[in-house]
Amino acid sequence: MIEDLLKKASQPFIVGVAGDSGSGKTMFAAGIRHLLGEKLVKMMEMDGYHKESRRERAVSGKLPLNPQANHLDRLVEHLKLLKEGQAIDLPVYNHATGEFDHPLAFSPSPIIIVEGLHALYPEFLPYLDLTVFVDPCRDIKWQWKSKRDKEIRRHEGIRLEQEMLVREAAYKRWIDFQKTEADIVIKIFPSTLKQFARYQLIEELPEHTYKVELMVRPSENDLPNLFIPLNIGSAFNIKQAPFLLSAVPSLYWGRKVINFHLDGIFSHETLNSLEKQITDQTGISTVSTSQEYLQRNNSTRFAQLLIVWRFLSELKNKLDS
């Protein structure tokens, strides 16, 4: 089982997850952690490596998207120490207060997920075993960021919108390019299923129904079989929830990828079966699974499952070498 191999590994397996603020990085990183087991996976948020607090940035006008506004050199040193099996003092940024909390003692776990704006910068790549870039379309990113910053981080609405407009050019300049080297790129759009209906959908799609595209670097080795329980007979039921699934070999930024398209509502039977096949491979029981998670049957959960399956291939290659 992969869990047993991980515990014997000489180095932690480090995953980098990059993307803009409010892009869904934390959602996908947390999904990976859930499926691989919270006892084996630790999260590192790069916000703690900002040079200035929110109050200081309001005076200086500096944006955290600017790499020079972050202690990236310190993170390089920390990744090096973690790869060597040494503990670090992890800097912590408190989003509720906008200030820095006391650093946390952080020892390496078998799997570490580094999540942040600059997680796939060139200086970090030698220490990363798998790279992921989260890239929702502008409208969805604005919805997610606005909701998060108003409800969770208590930002003011008018000031938040002004900041988001200023950040757009900074995102293109300092963040967006990272996807050109990512092993997995996650793109998220509003659902496109309406365009397949003749001439309209019988029922409106539930809120938060998205189309997810995955650009995945092909595995160097064959992955174990992963079967999807798909009841085609149920498709003849007029109440069947609509869905779309395709896998298209493609070129993306000059690289060969498998372009997955996931859209709509997938059955609980399908998603729970996929998750069980993953846990059978890992030997890790997701006993902490919440009812809220189990009730999710959308394309984002399906995407998380495919990402973890690809992750397991990369992990197995490393552990076998």
At 258 the pLDDT is 97
Question: Picking from 3-7, 148-152, 201-205, which range would have the lowest pLDDT averaged per residue?
Answer: 148-152
Answer with the residue of higher pLDDT: 321 or 211.
211
pLDDT above 60 for 8: yes
> What is the domain class of 2-320 according to CATH?
alpha beta
> Distance of alpha carbon 164 from its chain centroid, rounded?
21
Mean pLDDT of 176-195: 96
Identify the band that residue 281 occupies on the pLDDT scale cut at 50, 70 and 90.
confident
* Spatial distance between the Cα atoms of 315 and 109, rounded to a whole number of angstroms: 14
Q: What dihedral angle (degrees, nearest 10) is formed by the CA atoms of 35, 133, 118, 175?
A: -160
At 60 the pLDDT is 95
The model's pTM is 0.91
265: its two tokens: 């509502």
pLDDT above 70 for 178: yes
Strands 184-190 vs 111-116: parallel, antiparallel or unpaired? unpaired
Query: What are the C-alpha distances in Å from 171 to residues 49, 142, 148, 177, 236?
Result: 18, 13, 18, 9, 45
pLDDT above 60 for 163: yes
One-letter identity of residue 253: W
Mean pLDDT of 246-269: 95
Strands (E) in 96-254, as ranges, are 99-106, 111-116, 130-136, 184-190, 210-216, 243-252
Range among 31-40, 217-226, 278-287, 297-306 with highest mean pLDDT value = 297-306
One-letter identity of residue 170: A
> Number of C-alpha atoms within 13 angstroms, CB side, residue 126?
9
At 52 the pLDDT is 98
Answer with the residue of higher pLDDT: 279 or 185.
185
pLDDT above 70 for 294: no
Mean pLDDT of 290-319: 79
What digits encode the pLDDT tens for the residues 187-201? Answer: 999 999 999 988 888
Identify the band that residue 39 occupies on the pLDDT scale cut at 50, 70 and 90.
confident
Identify the band that residue 250 occupies on the pLDDT scale cut at 50, 70 and 90.
very high
At 155 the pLDDT is 55
Mean pLDDT of 295-320: 84
Task: Give the angle subtended at the CA of 122 by the CAs of 119 and 125, to the nearest 5°.
Answer: 70
* Contact indicator for 145, 30 with CB cutoff of 8 Å: no
> Number of C-alpha atoms within 13 angstroms, CB side, residue 32?
27
* Contact indicator for 69, 176 with CB cutoff of 8 Å: no
At 285 the pLDDT is 66
Mean pLDDT of 89-112: 96
At 188 the pLDDT is 96
* Spatial distance between the Cα atoms of 91 and 102, rounded to a whole number of angstroms: 7
pLDDT above 80 for 146: no
One-letter identity of residue 24: G
Element (H, E) at 88: strand 88-94
What digits encode the pLDDT tens for the residues 127-145? Answer: 999 999 999 998 898 888 7
- Classify 73 as helix, strand or coil: helix
